[in-house]
Amino acid sequence: MGCSSTKEIDDSQIWTNIHSQLPSQTTRERANAADRLKQSNIVGVKGKRSKTYFEPCMLYVDEPGHKNYYLNDLGLFEQDIEFTTRRKTSTHQKRPKCSGLWLDDSFDETKLVLRDEEVKLLRPKEIHPQACILVDLTEERNCDTIDTECNNFMVNVLLLATDSFLLQRILPDDYKSTKKYDGIFHCRFCRIGIWEDVYIDDRLPVRDDGLIYGSSSNEYNEMWIPLIRRAYEAMRRRRFLEVFRTLTGGTGVEIKLSDKKFDPGYIGNKIDLALQQGLWVVCSVSESSDGVFNLIYGQVFIIKAILKVETKRGKEVILVRMRNPIGNNEWTGPWSQRSSEWETAVCNQRPFMLDREFFMSVDSLIKYMNCIIICNLIPEQDKLGTEERSNYTTKIYGEWKGNMAAGLDYLKNPKYLIKISDKGIEDDGKVRVVIILEQMTHQTSMELVALRTKLYKVHTVCKHGMIIEDITEEGICSKRISVTLSVRAVPGNYLIVPHTDREEYEKDFMIAIYTPTPLKGVRFIDERNPILVSRQGTTVKLKGATSESKLECVNYSWGEWDLQKGYLHGEEFEKNPQFEIQIPYEAPSCVVRFQLLKDSFQEDACIGFRLFKMTSYRKMPLTKSWIDAIWDDPVKCHDGSIEGWHWDYIAPTYTLAPGTYIAIAWADKPDYKCSFCLVVKVSFPIKVT
Q: Please tell me the predicted confidence (pLDDT) of residue 284.
A: 92
> Which one has a higher pLDDT value, 143 or 377?
377
Phi/psi at 549 (5° precision): -100, 130
245-254, 295-304, 534-543: which has the minimum mean pLDDT? Answer: 534-543
Q: Please tell me the predicted confidence (pLDDT) of residue 327.
A: 74
81, 292, 448, 475, 510 from 413: Cα distances, Å: 18, 46, 18, 18, 14
**pLDDT at residue 688 is higher than 90:** no
Question: Does domain 392-529 sit in CATH 2.60.120.380?
Answer: yes
**Whether the Cβ atoms of residue 548 and residue 539 lie closer than 8 Å to each other:** yes
Taking the C-alpha atoms of residue 71 and residue 50, their distance in angstroms, rounded to an integer, is 10
- Ranges of H-type helices in 143-250: 151-160, 164-170, 224-232, 240-248
> Which one has a higher pLDDT value, 287 or 32?
287
Read off the pLDDT of each residue in 427-441 and give the average, rounded to a whole number.
86
pLDDT digits (tens, 9 = 90+) for 3-22: 333 233 344 444 334 334 44
Phi/psi at 495 (5° precision): -115, 120
| Intervals of CATH 2.60.120.380 along the chain | 392-529, 538-688
What share of the chain has pLDDT > 90, as a percent? 17
**pLDDT at residue 591 is higher than 80:** yes
Mean pLDDT across the chain, nearest whole number? 78
DSSP output for 348-391: -SPPP--TTEEEEEHHHHHHHEEEEEEEESSPPPSSTT-S----
Q: Annotated catalytic, 324?
A: yes
Count the Cβ atoms, other than its own, within 10 Å of residue 600: 22
Count the Cβ atoms, other than its own, within 10 Å of residue 381: 21
* Residues near 214 by beta carbon (within 8 Å), at least 6 away in sequence: 143, 145, 147, 154, 225, 226, 229
One of 3, 132, 143, 150 is an active-site residue; which one? Answer: 150
One of 17, 72, 142, 324 is an active-site residue; which one? Answer: 324
Q: Please tell me the predicted confidence (pLDDT) of residue 260.
A: 77
Taking the C-alpha atoms of residue 495 and residue 458, their distance in angstroms, rounded to an integer, is 7
pLDDT digits (tens, 9 = 90+) for 638-648: 777 777 667 77
Which of left, alpha, beta for 113 (phi over 0: left; psi -120 to 50: alpha)? Answer: beta
Q: Is 622 helix (H, G, I), strand (E, B) or coil?
A: coil
512, 580, 597, 673 from 561: Cα distances, Å: 39, 18, 12, 5
Q: Please tell me the predicted confidence (pLDDT) of residue 221.
A: 75
In DSSP terms, 457 is beta-bridged to 469, 494
Q: How confident is the model at residue 139 (pLDDT cuts 50, 70, 90)?
A: low
Pick the CATH number of 538-688 from 2.60.120.380, 3.40.980.20, 1.20.960.40, 1.10.10.10: 2.60.120.380
Taking the C-alpha atoms of residue 468 and residue 141, their distance in angstroms, rounded to an integer, is 51
Q: Please tell me the predicted confidence (pLDDT) of residue 220.
A: 64
pLDDT digits (tens, 9 = 90+) for 71-115: 887 778 888 888 877 655 555 678 888 888 888 877 766 565 554
Q: Please tell me the predicted confidence (pLDDT) of residue 368.
A: 95
| Intervals of CATH 3.90.70.10 along the chain | 252-376
Count the Cβ atoms, other than its own, within 10 Å of residue 387: 8
Q: Please tell me the predicted confidence (pLDDT) of residue 537.
A: 66
**Whether the Cβ atoms of residue 160 and residue 166 lie closer than 8 Å to each other:** yes
pTM, two decimal places: 0.80
52-66, 245-259, 408-422: which has the minimum mean pLDDT? Answer: 52-66
What share of the chain has pLDDT > 70, as a percent? 78
The highest-level CATH class for domain 252-376 is alpha beta
pLDDT digits (tens, 9 = 90+) for 545-556: 556 777 778 889
* Three-state DSSP string of 106-126: CCCHHHHCCCCCCCEEECHHH
Q: Annotated catalytic, 413?
A: no
- Ranges of H-type helices in 482-605: none
Q: Please tell me the predicted confidence (pLDDT) of residue 31.
A: 36
The separation between the first and the last C-alpha atoms of the chain, rounded to the nearest angstrom, is: 82
pLDDT digits (tens, 9 = 90+) for 446-501: 577 889 999 999 998 888 889 999 998 877 888 888 888 888 889 999 999 999 99
Taking the C-alpha atoms of residue 514 and residue 236, their distance in angstroms, rounded to an integer, is 26
pLDDT digits (tens, 9 = 90+) for 603-643: 888 888 889 998 877 778 888 888 888 888 898 887 777 77
pLDDT digits (tens, 9 = 90+) for 282-312: 999 999 999 999 999 988 999 999 999 988 8
Q: How confident is the model at residue 655 (pLDDT cuts 50, 70, 90)?
A: confident
Q: How confident is the model at residue 372 (pLDDT cuts 50, 70, 90)?
A: very high
